[in-house]
A and B are shown apart, each in its own frame.
Chain A
Amino acid sequence: MTAPAIDTGAAAAVGPEQTYFAALAEGTWRVQRCNACARSVFYPRLLCPHCGEQDLGWFTPSGRGTVHATTVMRRPAQAGGDLHLCLVDLDDGFRMMSRVEGVPPHAVRIGLRVQAAVAREGEQPLVLFHPVEVQA
Chain B
Amino acid sequence: MSKTSPCRGAAAITGIGHAGLGAAHGFSEMEILAQAARNAVADAGLRMSDIDGLCTCSGSATMWAMPVAEYLGLRPAFVDSTMLGGSSFVAHLLPAIHALMAGTCNAVLVCYGSTQKTSTVNRSAVTRMRQVLDPQPYETPYQPMQPISAYALAASRHMHLYGTTREQLAEVAVAARAWARMNPLAYARDPLSVEDVLAARPVCDPLTVRDCCLLTDGAGAFVLVRSDRAQDGPHRPAYVLGNATEVWNRQVSSMDDLTVTAASVSGRRAYAMAGVGKDDVDLVCLYDAFTINTLLFLEDLGFCPKGEGGRFVSGGAIAPGGRLPVNTNGGGLSFGHPGMYGVFLVLEAVLQLRGAAGERQQNVDVALVHGNGGTLSSQSTAILGSAATL
Number of chain A interface residues as a range: 20 to 34
**Interface bits B153-165 vs A (CB < 8 Å: 1, else 0):** 1101100100000
Residue pair B149, A85 in contact (C-beta under 8 Å): yes
Q: How far is the CA of A91 from the CA of B160 in the complex (A)?
A: 20
Q: Give A49 Cβ to nearest chain B Cβ, in Å.
A: 9
Q: How far is the CA of A75 from the CA of B247 in the complex (A)?
A: 31
**Interface bits B310-338 vs A (CB < 8 Å: 1, else 0):** 00000000000000000000000000000
B343 in the interface (beta carbon within 8 A)? no
**Interface bits A61-81 vs B (CB < 8 Å: 1, else 0):** 000000011111111000010
Residue pair A71, B152 in contact (C-beta under 8 Å): yes
Residue pair A72, B138 in contact (C-beta under 8 Å): no
Contacts A73-B149, A85-B153 given; does A97 touch B253 at CB 8 Å: yes
Contacts of A98 in B (CB 8 A): 142
Contacts of A68 in B (CB 8 A): 157, 258
Contacts A73-B144, A74-B205, A110-B157 given; does A97 touch B139 at CB 8 Å: yes
Q: Is the interface of B mostly helix, strand, loop or mixed?
A: mixed
Q: How far is the CA of A96 from the CA of B140 in the complex (A)?
A: 12
Contacts A74-B202, A74-B204, A95-B253 given; does A69 touch B157 at CB 8 Å: yes
Residue pair B258, A69 in contact (C-beta under 8 Å): yes
Residue pair A110, B142 in contact (C-beta under 8 Å): no
Q: How far is the CA of A106 from the CA of B156 in the complex (A)?
A: 12
**Interface bits B244-260 vs A (CB < 8 Å: 1, else 0):** 00000001110000100
Q: How far is the CA of A97 from the CA of B152 in the complex (A)?
A: 13
Q: How far is the CA of A68 from the CA of B157 in the complex (A)?
A: 7
A7 in the interface (beta carbon within 8 A)? no
Q: Is the interface of A mostly helix, strand, loop or mixed?
A: strand
Contacts A43-B138, A86-B153 given; does A71 touch B253 at CB 8 Å: no
B120 in the interface (beta carbon within 8 A)? no
Q: How far is the CA of A124 from the CA of B258 in the complex (A)?
A: 27
Interface hub of A69, A73, A83 (most chain B Cβ within 10 A)? A69
Q: Give B345 Cβ to nearest chain A Cβ, in Å.
A: 27
Contacts of B202 in A (CB 8 A): 72, 74
Contacts of A21 in B (CB 8 A): 137
Residue pair A124, B205 in contact (C-beta under 8 Å): no
Contacts of B145 in A (CB 8 A): 73, 75
Contact of A110 among B137, B143, B160 (CB under 8 A): B160
Contacts of A124 in B (CB 8 A): 141
Contacts A96-B253, A106-B205 given; does A70 touch B141 at CB 8 Å: no
Residue pair A97, B205 in contact (C-beta under 8 Å): no
Interface hub of B139, B154, B205 (most chain A Cβ within 10 A)? B205
A53 in the interface (beta carbon within 8 A)? no
Residue pair A97, B160 in contact (C-beta under 8 Å): no
Give the contacts of B192-226 with A (CB-CB under 8 A). 201-206
Residue pair A87, B204 in contact (C-beta under 8 Å): no
A121 in the interface (beta carbon within 8 A)? yes
Contacts of B139 in A (CB 8 A): 97
Q: Give A47 Cβ to nearest chain B Cβ, in Å.
A: 15
Q: List 9 A-B contacts (CB under 8 A).
A: A43-B137, A69-B156, A73-B143, A74-B202, A75-B145, A87-B252, A96-B253, A97-B139, A110-B157
Q: Nearest 7 CB-CB pairs, A to B? A: A71-B152, A69-B153, A43-B138, A97-B253, A126-B141, A72-B205, A69-B157
